[in-house]
Structure 1
Amino acid sequence: MLDLLDENTTRAVTLDQKLCQLFQGKEGAHKYKEAKTIEERINCLWRVQLLQDMLKRCNQINNKSEEYLQDELSEPSCPWLELPVLSSPHQEFPTFSDAVEITWGEERGRYAKAARDIACGEILGVEAAVTSALYDEMKPSHCDVCFKFIPYQQLPCDNCSRSRFCSESCKKSAMDGYHGFECGREDVYELVLGKMFQEGKEGAASSKRFHQLSLKTVSQKPIAWFKKNKKILESRLKMKHSKSGVRSVYEDLLLLESHQDITSENSNFRNFYFLLSALFHLRTLQISGYFGIKKTKITESLTEDELFIGKLLFSFLVRAQFNTHGIIEGIEDPAADFDQNGNLKDEKPYENKVRCIGNGVFPALAMLNHSCCNNVYKVNIGNTVVIFASKKIRKGEEITENYFPVAQVIQRPERRAWLKTGYWFDCCCIACVENYPIYLQTQKVPHVYRCQKENCNGLLSKEDTCPFCKTAMNRNKIGEEIDTCWSTILESRKHLHSSATRTTILRHADIVQKNWQRIQELCSGHSRLIYKGEIIFWRSLRLSLGNKCY
């Protein structure tokens, strides 16, 4: 508004100069006075209109604030944040669908495979994070508890300027739990603990905040809860694996892989840093009164409760390193991606309009092994993860996720080196074993077709007859159907963007899903069409459901 006033003042001065030039001499003095009177009236009317616009804007802000203070955003305003419900959850692992079978291997531990044929787009899991931490750079615009994007409608913490909340319930949850113990100490964490984990590497600002996750895992539960469950938690600490489901997410958390059996110079340094972090947080909890009283003086020994919590802090840290997942949100499509008609331009092969806003630990999701050519896609709603089948998964096939390096973009040596450094294992997924070609090395269209006879998994590379069931196939007809499905997907993609209405997005997302599912049934192998088809399907999921910052 002040800019408008400055603009009006400049305009008035310019007009006055022009009037003086126009009405020079005695003859023009009277006309000049009349013109100035008219100018003053115009300016007065302009200021009245400006004040009315300012008042209208203030009323709009007040109305939004009143709606916002009704605790949470109403469903009609954010239908993409509505959590889906599993229609048939797994009996032992209720965060998974019963289409997921959790099995056991002596060398692999627990992993997941399809209990039946799974359709593309089917929801396989819905899991809330046991603990999660928002990135520091996201705190000014997101709720610290549920990770909602709230750039304008915020409830600040009463005691610090770092944390904001979307509702009174989120604020109360934080103040009664974890934030009461970290409030005012975040800068110390970043200066001391953050630097230890960054180890001088470039891009350290985006490093995972393992220490924040560890402290929140403890501080979000009262000491009375840990004392009540001490025996069962200690027993889980002694177990390496479990073949069955467990009673609580904290028990499952302690059964996650920690690689404590691997001894190396790297692991010794890691354990030293994690031990320092655990001691740092234990001292924080003592000073904050977590154990019942505020212990400001350092004592020569720790109490039984303090020793137990210290052990848990260290245990959570060593598991977080290998079992932490990024929490993402969709970002707005830039103007450069649209044509003159407002439709998306031709697809980019690596488009991925998301950003990471924090990290979370999901014990059930962590049971899915990595594959460089995975078959699920994850969407976050707040700090809850929803797991979709991104391909058709046949009964008995392993259900896999991806830690980051994908076979279509990154060569096998780079992928395996990255996984070895970050997760301490040699990747033996099918993409690495068979050395799948990257996107630019694949042909444009698929040439391996699937047998269309029911319950037959035969593949035809050049043949006209299935090598398994001997059924004759019309390759030309299959190829024409693939082309039709692909053209339909590309046409729908033009309408799948951040500026589209929700009705439009849902309609075209459904079209993409059906045609992508059909392509999966018609062909197999490696091609640019298959890779881009999956990317477009990811886009449809991301726009239909999940966090957004627009």
Structure 2
Amino acid sequence: MSMNYFPRLLRTLKNNELAGNFRQKGNAMFKVRKNREAVELYTRSIALAEDKSECLALAYANRSAVLFEKGFYEECLMNNYPENLKPKLLTRQEKAKILKPLQTSQNYFEPIPKFPEKNKNTFIDCAADSVEIKYSEDLGRHIVANRNIEIGEILAIEKPFCHILIKQHLNHCHQCMKLSYNLIPCKNCTQALYCSKKCRYNANFYHTYECQILTTMKSMKMDKLKLLPLKIALSVKDQYELIKNGCSTPDKDLYRSDRYQEIHNLVANTDSRSVSDLFDRSVTAAVVFHLIKKYTSFFDKPEDEVTFKELVLLHLQTAACNFHEISELAENKDQIFELDEIGAGAYSFLSMFNHSCSPNVVRHCYGPIIVLRALHSIKKGEQCYDNYGYHYALMTKSDRRAKLKKQYFFDCICEVCKNDWPLYQNLPEIKTDIVISDLDIVKLQNGEVNAANKFLVENLLKVTELEKLKPNKNLAELQEVIKQCFALLGNIRRTL
């Protein structure tokens, strides 16, 4: 007796009745001035409504009313009004056009920094000339400073080869991840929403295929480390011949973030993985392949099926050790801005930074682009260290080393682990003139960008004074405040 253990296809189809229910819930929220909840419910209605239906137009119209009231005049402009609402909506549109110049700008992030032409790296397209890639048997590929680097200096500005949105789907674009309160839907599924018709069109090359199976994969609790490998395998179909021939990169060639070869050659740690680990990843790859083969038209020829399976399995292994989170500052329940992970990306250059439990670099996101800055002064010849999520101030040495060994397959021998630095609460406090005022803390917690810029100008270089006596509580506190300042220059989700 044959038994089929593969998952059945699940799809959340367009449904005007369900869309109407969400629109009514949005109306209820709007009446009690819960604007954020109302906009999200209307957007849910837009995602569910059938294309070109009156139900879709009504959801657009209701969302437009909230956006107009909150001063989002550009975002509230829309077309395809239902006939019975045209007079009312056209009046709103005329008012919005008049008021549009008065709209308060709410940038998702500050302007993305750029390297002066003279400071660009000759061999790494996303990096400054202050760093270089080195290799050794013990450390593998790693990043070293080729001159002294000051705290706050930018080391890299990297755009991911591929990225995905994993949460906040009702206010971020599925394609570019931009914060948007006037998203438009995929015409065929309920899972993807876009900030513009351009982004919806640009997503076609991969979403045409994932569109059919996203609901099924999410119902199986497939996370970012499974969804991103699928998107990579779909995105590089035009390079399958190159991949079959080895996918090597010339040693003296420019190291590029926009090229697949760099992603393909990231370490997978296959030989270090247990049989059960590899079995689990192989089953996942088989399920993903089954869904693509049975429910989409992705494969043109049999040999592409083999390449696809191999790529999914490869990146299910590289993902856990190399891919990075994409985050933004957002208000928590206490109305304090803190980092919230919303997506994940494959960054080939950032993946080469080794770990330290007290890192000397820090990452912040501008959309899906990551800007990497020095968090500590770095001397020429020293290694540049990122942190893989296990920091000495928050976790004991034994816990850190156990988790790093399990996920990344190495025994941490960083300065912190060698000297067994204490947790934050047990760090010594030193006498210093450097003071972080309560007012500064409140302003930064409230998301004030001007306060962040002012604090950086006044305090950034003071870190070097505290570095001489590390570890100490003063340095740990100042570094955390500086990290919050840098975060405020990047993605911020400001609600309605």
TM-score, normalization by structure 2? 0.74
1:397 aligns with 2:409: no
Alignment correspondent of 2:296: 288
CA shift in 2, pair 1:159/1:411, >3 Å: same
Aligned partner of 1:322 in structure 2 is: 321
1:65 counterpart letter in structure 2: C
TM-aligned CA distance change 1:138 to 1:442, over 3 Å: same
Structure 2 counterparts to residues 70-469 of structure 1, below 5 A: 77-78=106-107, 80-87=109-116, 88-135=119-166, 137-150=167-180, 152-174=181-203, 176-192=204-220, 194=222, 208-221=223-236, 223-227=237-241, 230-233=244-247, 235=248, 246=255, 249-262=259-272, 267-286=274-293, 287-292=295-300, 303-332=302-331, 353-445=338-430
Map Cα deviations across residues 293-346 of structure 1 (whole Å, 9 max, x no partner): xxxxxxxxx822221222222112211121122111112266577xxxxxxxxx
One-letter amino acid of the counterpart of residue 285, structure 1: I
2:435 matched residue in structure 1: 487
Query: Could you tell me how far apart the structure 1 residues matched to 2:452 and 2:475 are?
Result: 22
Q: Kindly indicate whether the alpha-carbon contact (under 8 Å) linking 2:328 and 2:490 is maintained by their aligned counterparts in 1.
A: no
Deviation at 1:78? 1.3
Query: One-letter code of the match for 2:328?
Result: E
Return the alpha-carbon distance in structure 1 between the equivalents of residues 183 and 364 of structure 2.
24
| Structure 1 letter corresponding to 2:176 | C
Instruction: Structure 2: give runs of 5+ residues left out of the alignment.
Output: 1-26, 33-64, 80-92, 94-102
Q: Please, which moves more after superposition, 486-495 or 271-280?
A: 486-495
Cα displacement string for residues 165-214 of structure 1 (whole angstroms, at most 9, x for unaligned residues): 1222221111x2221111131221133473xxxxxxxxxxxxx4222111
Deviation, structure 1 residue 380 = 0.9
CA distance in 2, matches of 1:511, 1:67: 46
What is the Cα deviation at residue 278 of structure 1? 2.4
Aligned-partner Cα distance in 1 for 2:30–2:213: 42
Q: Helix, strand or coil: the match of 2:172? A: coil
Q: Distance in 2 between matches of 1:59 and 1:128?
A: 33
* Equivalent-residue separation in structure 1 for 2:326 and 2:423 (angstroms): 27
AA partner of residue 108 (structure 1): L
**Contact in 2 for aligned 1:120/1:389 (Cα 8 Å):** yes
One-letter amino acid of the counterpart of residue 177, structure 2: F
Q: CA separation in 1, counterparts of 2:108 and 2:70?
A: 26
| TM-score, normalization by structure 1 | 0.68
Contact 2:108-2:493 within 8 A present in 1 as well: no
Distance 1:548 1:336 in 2: 12
* CA–CA separation in structure 1 for the residues paired with 2:186 and 2:66: 29
Aligned partners of 1:436, 1:506: CA distance in 2, in Å?
31
Does the C-alpha gap of structure 1 residues 229 and 355 become closer, same or farther in structure 2, counting only changes over 3 Å? same
- Match of 2:271, SS state, is coil
In structure 2, what residue type is equivalent to 1:326?
E
User: 1:228: Cα distance to partner?
Assistant: 5.1
Given that residues 382 and 547 in structure 1 are in contact (C-alpha distance below 8 angstroms), is that contact kept between their aligned partners in structure 2? no
Q: Which amino acid aligns with 2:363?
A: K
Instruction: Give the aligned partner of residue 97 of structure 2.
Output: none
Determine the C-alpha separation between the residues in 1 that align with 2:66 and 2:105: 27
Structure 1 stretch 426-435 or stretch 57-66: which is displaced more? Answer: 57-66
Structural RMSD (CA): 3.2
Cα distance change of structure 1 residues 55 and 99 upon mapping to structure 2, 3 Å threshold: closer
Question: Cα gap change, 1:153/1:517 in structure 2, threshold over 3 Å: closer, same or farther?
Answer: farther
The aligned counterpart of 1:512 is 459
Q: Is the 8 A contact 2:108 2:492 kept in 1?
A: no
Shift of the alpha carbon at 1:371? 0.6
Q: Structure 1: which 5+ residue stretches go unaligned?
A: 7-53, 195-207, 293-301, 338-351, 447-481
Alpha-carbon separation, structure 1, partners of 2:208 and 2:28: 40
Contact 2:165–2:343 (Cα < 8 Å) also in 1: yes
Deviations 1:249-286 (A, max 9, x none): 311112211111225xxx22222222233233333433
Distance 2:198 2:458 in 1: 39
Asked if 1 retains the 8 angstrom alpha-carbon contact of 2:71 and 2:104, the reply is no
Work out the CA distance in 2 between the residues paired with 1:5 and 1:305.
54
Change (3 A) 1:145 1:309: same
User: 2-side partners of 1:525 and 1:162: how far apart?
Assistant: 49
User: Quick one: which amino acid aligns to residue 141 of structure 1?
Assistant: N
| Greater C-alpha radius of gyration | 1
- Paired residue total: 411
Q: How many angstroms apart in 2 are the aligned matches of 1:409 and 1:497? A: 20
One-letter amino acid of the structure 2 residue matched with residue 252 of structure 1? E
User: Does the CA contact (< 8 Å) of 1:509 and 1:544 recur in 2?
Assistant: no
Cα distance change of structure 1 residues 189 and 317 upon mapping to structure 2, 3 Å threshold = same
Percent of aligned positions with the same letter in both sequences? Answer: 23
SS at structure 2 position matched to 1:214: helix
Q: SS at 2:477's partner residue?
A: helix
Task: Name the amino acid aligned to 1:142.
Answer: H
Contact 1:193 1:211 in 2 (8 A): no
Separation in 1, partners of 2:316, 2:415: 31
Deviation track 1:75-117 (CA, whole Å, cap 9, x = no partner) reads 9541725322223222221112111121111122110111111
8 Å Cα contact 2:67/2:75 also seen in 1: no
Asked whether the equivalents of residues 452 and 486 of structure 2 are also in contact (C-alpha less than 8 Å), the reply is no
